[in-house]
Structure 1
Amino acid sequence: MEHFFTIIGGMGTLATETYIHQLNLRTPAHSDQEYLNYILVNHATVPDRTNYILDHSQPSPLQPLLADFRQQASLGPDFFTLPCNTAHYFYEQLKQVTDIPILHMPREAVAWIGDNLKAVKRVGLISTEGTRADHIYDDEIMAAGYDLILPDEKIQEQTNQLIYAGVKEKNHVDRQLYHEILRQMFEEKGCEAVVLGCTELSLAQDREPYLEHPVVDSQSILVDKTIDLALRARAGEKI
């Protein structure tokens, strides 16, 4: 297979399914042959990223992820995508096992703000506690010159409930809860844009979109970047 990319997914599976659905939906294709070539590694048994980041005595996701990247690199994809925000904690270590480009979802999301929301200064973040603890978004947001606004304990607990008790456990998005989380970030915390720093939150945005204020959907941005790179690689451009 020529000109394909590899998706290291399954963290979680339902969020990866949303990524794939949007990827196929947005690809400018009018026949079978115009869709993109890709390999999906749905590695659902990778240990929980947040559990490990918060407590290093828990099973580490790193070795399974390194094995996935080494295995897939041997097949020669044009690039990799990693549609799990929290897994980007290991990004630098994953880069060490391959010279093939790996898209950095948090970095792409923050760059999107600069390109599309030029008047924004106060950027909020909702995510897993693991992503909060590893600062992968904090560093990118502040390095770009934005004021970072984080949720308080109540909003974080609500976000955890939405992600784990709702999407991961029941494949259910509580629309009222999701919209209330964002309402609080915008109206009570004074955010001008809010980054969805978890792919389960991207799934919530896909199913129950919040349209009152600017939501920066990291997975949606990754979809668009994936399509752009894949089409450029297919056309023979260097990426």
Structure 2
Amino acid sequence: MRKFFTVIGGMGSLATESYVHLLNERTPTKNDQDYLDYILVNHSSVPDRTAHILDHSKPSFLPPLTEDIKQQSALNPEFMVIICNTAHYYYKELQAATDIPIIHMPHMAISVMKKQYPNAKRIGLIATKGTIADHIYEDEIKNAGFELSLGNQEIQDEVESLIYDDIKIKGQVDAKKYHKILQTMHDKFDCDVIVLGCTELSLAQEKAPDHPFKTIDGQSIIVDKSIELGEKIRNGETIDYNKIYG
């Protein structure tokens, strides 16, 4: 297979399944051959990202992801995407391990947000403790010129419960809990837009989109970008990866 891309997933598997579902659903097709060519790596045994970020004595997820990147690089994909926001903690190290472009999901998400909501002032961020601690989204949001709110501990506990208790453990989305989190970020913390900084939250958005709040879903955005780039490489177009965020 030539002219394909690689998806590094499994962190978690349900979130990766959501990415693949949206990718196939949104790709314009008339027959089997219109779907995009890609390789999916569902590396579910990668150590917990948040646990390592909060305590570096815990197993690191960098070595197994680096191995994945190098294995896939040998197959010569056109680009790669990593379906886990928190894993971007080691983005620089992972990109340094290959000449294949790795699309930076948080950077892509905030670039889109800046265009979509240029008049927004305060941006809410809901994510795992690991993503909060590594400042990936925080730095992107502030560098884009927006104010940031992380809510409070009560909100963080609710977010963690939705991500881990409901989605990762039970394999289900608590729509009521998800909507309550969004409403609290909007009403109590004056957030104009709420960034979903975890792919499990992206799954929640896919399953429970019936709410009035403005959200930025990095996984949904990277799906659209994967389709855009995938169709370009299929057509033999040259892509300047330095300009895809602009």
Q: Which residue of 1 aligns with 2:81?
A: 81
Q: Which residue of 2 aligns with 1:151?
A: 151
1:1-239 alignment, distance < 5 Å: 1-239=1-239
Give the Cα separation in 1 of the matches to 2:21 and 2:34: 16
Quote the offset at 1:210 in angstroms.
4.4
C-alpha offsets along residues 157-179 of structure 1, whole Å, 9 cap, x if unaligned? Answer: 00000000000000111111111
Give the Cα separation in 1 of the matches to 2:16 and 2:150: 25
- Which consecutive residues of structure 1, in runs of 5 or more, have no partner in the other structure? none
TM-score, normalised with respect to structure 1: 0.99
- Which consecutive residues of structure 2, in runs of 5 or more, have no partner in the other structure? 240-246
Q: Is the 8 A contact 2:175 2:208 kept in 1?
A: yes
C-alpha offsets along residues 46-87 of structure 1, whole Å, 9 cap, x if unaligned? Answer: 000000000111111000000000000000000000010000
Instruction: Read off the aligned partner of 2:124 and give its amino acid letter.
Output: G
C-alpha offsets along residues 107-131 of structure 1, whole Å, 9 cap, x if unaligned? Answer: 0110111121121121110000000
Give the Cα separation in 2 of the matches to 1:238 and 1:42: 28
Quote the offset at 1:233 in angstroms.
1.0
Supply the RMSD in Å over aligned alpha carbons: 0.7
What is the count of residue pairs matched by the alignment? 239
Structure 1 outlier segments of 4+, above 4 Å: none
Give the Cα separation in 2 of the matches to 1:30 and 1:108: 29
Give the Cα separation in 2 of the matches to 1:53 and 1:238: 37
Quote the offset at 1:30 in angstroms.
0.8
Give the Cα separation in 2 of the matches to 1:101 and 1:121: 32
C-alpha offsets along residues 6-49 of structure 1, whole Å, 9 cap, x if unaligned? Answer: 00000000000000000000001111111000000000000000
Quote the offset at 1:211 in angstroms.
2.8
